[in-house]
Amino acid sequence: MTEKLRNHNIYQTEKGGVVKAWTNGVPFEDSAKAQVDNIANLPFIHKWVSIMPDVHKGIGATIGSVIPTVGAVIPAAVGVDIGCGMMAQKTSLTASDLPDNLFKIRNDIERAVPHGMSKGKRDKGSWHDPPELVIQRWTELSMDFDAICEKHPRFIKTNNMNHLGTLGTGNHFIELCLDEEDFVWIMLHSGSRGVGNCIGNYFISLAKKDMERWMIHLPDSNLAYFPEGSEHFADYCQAVGWAQKFASTNREIMMANVIRSLKLGKQIPDFTLLETAVNCHHNYVARENHFGKNILLTRKGAVKAGEGDLGIIPGSMGARSFIVRGKGNADSFHSCSHGAGRVMSRTEAFKRYTVEDHLEATKGVECRKDKSVIDETPAAYKDIDAVMKAQSELVDIVHTLKQVVCVKG
């Protein structure tokens, strides 16, 4: 049965799980819905699973889902891009301060922040000689990392310090944007890089082995979980918490280096920073209290939107993005979407769209326009305006941003 309530839908799965979905006016494909139903039916779900309007199929857990659990955590629900999220900073610059040709600015940013990935002796997306800021911030992270590695030495041989302050690949980006008053914003998107990926995959594998050992049968092996008090539960919580801290620090270093590159590049006047920078995760797990219960809340492609919380909801390469303020909607577990959400796989986007399509879709944006980024073309994503309309009871829009420069890995 489905009951329409305001601008979200409530339904019960065949096995009795409850889902609340803010998906009116946006696609919610059957494959994603099947994943959501599997999660909602798990015995340790608290109340219901909340679905954001950018929902789309993931691995095990659906992207755009908010999963409240009691006494258990699902590593694959957090995923392997642990702590992935956004940071944005308003500057005193305005559109009139930018040069007509923005290529040099994009080039300066690309030189200041390692990006992309290559195989071989050294990953081009890592530091060859980490700068002082990276070394200093790694020192702050290394003590807890060493303690984790004592129990799980697999993490030692990861590109940890050399990835701190770097962008990565895929949908990660650095942008210069203009707001509704033509002020320039710096906005970026990245997570915990190689070390977070290793932590995620390692514990997902351990959880699957635990399920086999305990003969627990799940509808999807990627929903393997650690019960609280079990052998790996505390170690996973410690490692995932550290990876989330790494991700937040990673964004702070990138932001500092982008600001420095803009000041040293001499393409624009000197500037100051305005308003408080927003730095928010959208792939993470946290201990929170909802409906009178202390729980573990996993936001898989979702942003915390408690009353007054500032968050960032980016569009695609050619679409608008938003700085938002949370309304503290209890039914969504104080959450909102983390972006527009894909409407097709990367493989499908490469098949369906051409470089000419991408050129037209990113007109007016200084960015890469070659065939290797077609999977990130705007048409591969949902309409961000429809996504924002679907979650009007979750957030208020504070600023509307439109990119003029976009750096991709």
**pLDDT tens-place values along the chain, 409 residues long:** 344 445 689 999 999 999 999 999 999 999 999 999 999 999 999 999 999 999 999 987 899 999 999 999 999 999 999 999 999 999 999 999 999 999 999 999 999 999 998 877 778 999 999 999 999 999 999 999 999 999 999 999 999 999 999 999 989 999 999 999 999 999 999 999 999 999 999 999 999 999 999 999 999 999 999 999 999 999 999 999 999 999 999 999 999 999 999 999 989 999 999 988 999 999 999 999 999 999 999 999 999 999 999 999 999 888 899 999 999 999 999 999 999 999 988 899 999 999 998 999 898 999 988 888 898 898 999 999 999 999 999 999 999 999 999 999 8
CATH number for the domain that contains residue 13: 3.90.1860.10
For the chain, how many structural domains are there in total? Answer: 1
In a domain, 366, yes or no: no
Q: Where are the beta strands (DSSP E) in 164-313?
A: 173-178, 183-190, 226-227, 273-281, 283-290, 293-300, 302-304, 310-313
Q: What length is written for the chain? A: 409
Helix (H) or strand (E) holding 323: strand 320-326
- CA–CA dist 27, 338 (Å, integer): 16
Number of Cβ within a 10 Å radius of residue 1: 5
Q: Which of 402, 313, 311, 310 is nearest to 363 (CA)?
A: 402
**Which token pair is 28?**
């919610």
**Which token pair is 209?**
């082995």
Put the strands of the sheet holding 85-94 in their side by side order. 273-281, 85-94, 183-190, 173-178, 395-408, 320-326, 310-313
- The amino acid present at 330, given as its one-letter code, is A
Give me the pLDDT at residue 254, please: 98
146 three-state secondary structure: helix
- The amino acid present at 227, given as its one-letter code, is P
Q: Out of 8, 338, 358, 399, which one is annotated catalytic?
A: 338
- CA–CA dist 202, 154 (Å, integer): 8
In a domain, 292, yes or no: yes
In a domain, 13, yes or no: yes
* Residue with token string 């493989």: 347
Give me the pLDDT at residue 122, please: 77
Residue 285: which residues within 8 A CB-CB, separation 6 or more? 73, 77, 78, 237, 240, 296, 297, 298, 299
Q: Where are the beta strands (DSSP E) in 72-182?
A: 72-73, 85-94, 173-178
- CA–CA dist 368, 377 (Å, integer): 11
- CA–CA dist 210, 208 (Å, integer): 5
Give me the pLDDT at residue 6, please: 59
Give me the pLDDT at residue 292, please: 97
Active site residue 338: yes
In a domain, 376, yes or no: no
Supply the pTM of this predicted model. Answer: 0.95
In a domain, 239, yes or no: yes
**Containing domain of residue 133, as a range?**
2-343+381-408
381 CA to centre of own chain:
15
Number of Cβ within a 10 Å radius of residue 16: 8
Q: Which of 24, 60, 55, 70 is nearest to 336 (CA)?
A: 55
At 135, give phi and psi (nearest 5°): -60, -45
Give me the pLDDT at residue 1, please: 39
In a domain, 372, yes or no: no
- CA–CA dist 49, 40 (Å, integer): 6
Q: Which of 359, 367, 311, 317 is nearest to 335 (CA)?
A: 311
| Cβ contacts of 105-110, under 8 Å, gap ≥ 24 | 105/176, 105/262, 105/265, 105/267, 105/268, 105/366, 105/405, 106/366, 106/367, 106/405, 106/406, 106/407, 108/261, 108/262, 108/264, 108/265, 108/267, 109/174, 109/258, 109/261, 109/262, 109/405, 109/407, 110/407
Dihedral class, residue 402 (left if φ above 0, else alpha if ψ from -120 to 50, else beta): beta
Give me the pLDDT at residue 120, please: 72
In a domain, 350, yes or no: no
Give me the pLDDT at residue 4, please: 47
- CA–CA dist 174, 186 (Å, integer): 7
